[in-house]
């Protein structure tokens, strides 16, 4: 038996984990977790316009996005980052690719998982990644899948914030104070040179969620003075001994 604490982030594209869960990654690493990131694609077709405008080839775009993602993961002190290179727009996983993800889930044995919102009409890759995350979580729990392996327990799946929140039906029920690791998240954000137009936007999101953390932790009656936070929506019931 081991007391190792772990977490798993399933990111549709190579930059998604940075904008939406970079603080959670850095904070949990700092608190002794081993956080593994899986990028299902590089986001080479649909999320790399700057590189295409510069005349890059497909392989050059993928290589550049990989370098950015690896640098961002290092800035966040992530334990591991893996690239499945499954293509994007559309992102698709066949049975073998799903089983590959199940293998990662079982190997990591995450205490919790992170992925995208359930609905995203602007980027169906995102909601597809979460559909796959839920399916592979289910398979990883099945005793009949590769009998003899350690099966998965019941890790919570947290959905991180989508880009146009109001359009996605995403309703946060958890706010995480990331103030103490904000410098790491900002450094990771600045690794994403291919999407520089999003840097200020996601800084503003973190500031707004910091306000929501303050209000929901007590507000003027004594709430924690969080400057930056991330919001998440939990999928499964949480089992507790006290509230």
Which pTM value belongs to this model?
A: 0.96
Task: State the pLDDT at residue 1.
Answer: 41
By the 8 A CB rule, do 74 and 17 touch?
Answer: no
- What is the spatial distance between Cα 31 and Cα 25, in angstroms, rounded to a whole number? 10
Distance CA 81, CA 61 (A): 18
E strand or H helix that includes residue 67:
helix 58-75
What is the 8-class DSSP label of residue 167?
Answer: G
The radius of gyration of the chain from alpha carbons, rounded to an integer in Å, stands at 18
Low-confidence ranges of the chain (pLDDT < 50): 1
Q: Is 108 left (phi over 0), alpha (psi -120 to 50) or beta?
A: alpha
Q: Rounded distance, CA 238 to CA 221, Å?
A: 27
pLDDT at position 2: 54
- What pLDDT sits at residue 224? 86
pLDDT value at residue 56: 96
Give the separation between CA 25 and CA 22, rounded to whole angstroms.
5
Q: Which CATH superfamily is domain 5-194+230-234 in?
A: LmbE-like (3.40.50.10320)
- Distance, CA of 111 to CA of 130 (rounded, Å): 17
Segments making up each domain of the chain, as ranges: 5-194+230-234
CA quadruple 64, 65, 66, 72: dihedral, nearest 10: 110
């Amino acid at each position: 038996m081991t007391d190792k604490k772990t977490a798993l982030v399933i990111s549709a594209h190579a930059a998604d984990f940075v904008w939406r869960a970079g603080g959670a990654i850095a904070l949990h690493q700092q608190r002794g977790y081993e956080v593994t990131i899986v990028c299902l694609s590089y986001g080479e077709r649909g999320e790399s316009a700057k590189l295409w405008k510069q005349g890059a080839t497909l392989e050059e775009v993928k290589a550049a996005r990989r370098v950015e993602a690896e640098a961002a993961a290092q800035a966040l002190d992530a334990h591991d980052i893996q690239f499945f290179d499954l293509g994007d727009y559309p992102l698709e996983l066949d049975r073998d690719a799903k089983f590959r993800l199940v293998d990662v889930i079982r190997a990591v044995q995450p205490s919790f998982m992170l992925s995208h919102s359930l609905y995203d009409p602007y980027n169906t890759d995102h909601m597809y990644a979460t559909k796959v995350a839920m399916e592979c979580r289910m398979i990883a729990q099945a005793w009949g899948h590769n009998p003899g392996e350690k099966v998965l327990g019941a890790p919570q799946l947290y959905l991180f914030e989508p880009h146009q929140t109001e359009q996605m039906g995403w309703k946060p029920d958890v706010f995480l104070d990331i103030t103490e690791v904000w410098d790491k998240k900002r450094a990771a954000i600045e690794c994403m040179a291919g999407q520089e137009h999003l840097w200020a936007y996601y800084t503003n999101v973190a500031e707004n969620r910091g306000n929501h953390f303050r209000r929901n932790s007590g507000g003027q009656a004594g709430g924690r003075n969080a400057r930056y936070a991330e919001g998440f929506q939990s999928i499964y019931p949480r089992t507790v001994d006290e509230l």
